[in-house]
């Protein structure tokens, strides 16, 4: 396979090279299209680029309307075999918030924390034995994170905790696997993106058209 990363950076069109195949021309056209879309964007792309992980929150609780929108987004996420194995606890009571903060410091000062699990008795198992449970939960959580941003609600995906301690703390059913938590709330004015947010790999490192 030719290394397309060098082609993406090269200013000379492969069309000028008589040795290129029609397939390579298609790839070049795709790469040009990609570059154009990167510039032009879309409503979704703009939102995806603007979102950042919020780690400092106002004390006020998320409104019922916003919470409903967020949860509804998670309900419409794709899942393997449509099994919808995601199970989400919405931690808001003083007791639940104190408990999650005792398990991990990455709950921050968020007024709401989603505890996202998969029910392994429900998740799809492929013929090769692969279990899609964590993926179901992850996609649902991603949908919720993006809808939260649309509502002006900030959040951070967090896996900085001991899964077994979290499981025990909330006395979860044995067939549930904890996938992540998501602290969320309205961002404090002084909250700002961490440096990581601005570090994105080049498309040439991430993608290969074949």
Ligand X SMILES: Cc1cc2nc3c(=O)[nH]c(=O)nc-3n(C[C@H](O)[C@H](O)[C@H](O)COP(=O)(O)O)c2cc1C
Residues that bind ligand X in the complex, under the rule CB under 6 A: 52-53, 55, 106, 156-160, 193-194, 196-197
Q: How far is the CB of 116 from ligand X (least distance, A)?
A: 11
Distances (CA, A) of 141 to 28, 145, 161: 35, 6, 17
Minimum CB distance to ligand X smaller for 67 or for 183: 183
**Cβ nearer to ligand X, comparing 4 with 183:** 183
Cα–Cα distance for residue pair 66/72, rounded to 1 Å: 10
What CA–CA distances, in Å, run from 43 to 47, 49, 73, 75, 188?
6, 10, 17, 22, 25
CB of 198 to ligand X, least distance (A): 8
Tokens of 192: 């700002």
Residue 55 to residue 109: CA distance in whole angstroms: 8
Residue among 32 and 200 whose Cβ is closer to ligand X: 200
Residue nearest to ligand X (CB): 160
DSSP result, 190-201: T----GGGG---
Contact between 146 and 73 (Cβ < 8 Å)? yes
CB 129 to ligand X: min, Å: 23
Q: Which is nearer to ligand X, 80 or 180 (CB)?
A: 180
SS3 of residue 1 by DSSP: coil
- Nearer to ligand X by Cβ, of 27 and 158: the residue is 158
Q: Name the minimum Å distance from CB 109 to ligand X.
A: 13
Smallest gap from Cβ 177 to ligand X, in A, equals 14
For residues 116 and 181, the answer to whether their CB atoms sit within 8 Å is yes
């Amino acid at each position: 396979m030719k290394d397309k990363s060098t082609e993406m950076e090269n200013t000379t069109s492969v069309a000028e090279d008589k040795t290129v195949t029609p397939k390579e021309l298609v790839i070049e056209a795709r790469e040009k299209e990609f570059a154009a879309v990167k510039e032009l964007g879309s409503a979704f792309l703009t939102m995806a680029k603007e979102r950042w992980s919020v780690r400092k929150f106002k004390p006020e609780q998320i409104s019922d309307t916003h919470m409903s929108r967020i949860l509804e987004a998670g309900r419409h996420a794709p899942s393997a075999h449509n099994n919808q194995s995601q199970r989400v606890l919405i931690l808001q009571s003083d007791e639940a918030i104190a408990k999650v903060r005792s398990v991990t410091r990455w709950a921050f000062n968020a007024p709401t924390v989603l505890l996202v699990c998969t029910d392994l008795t429900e998740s799809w198992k492929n013929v090769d034995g692969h279990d899609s449970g964590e993926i179901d939960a992850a996609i649902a959580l991603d949908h919720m994170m993006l809808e939260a941003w649309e509502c002006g609600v900030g959040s951070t995906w967090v896996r900085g905790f001991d899964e077994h301690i979290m499981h025990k703390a909330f006395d979860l059913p044995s067939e549930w696997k904890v996938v992540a938590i998501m602290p969320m709330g309205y961002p404090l004015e002084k909250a700002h993106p961490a440096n990581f947010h601005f570090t994105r790999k080049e498309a040439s490192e991430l993608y290969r058209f074949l």
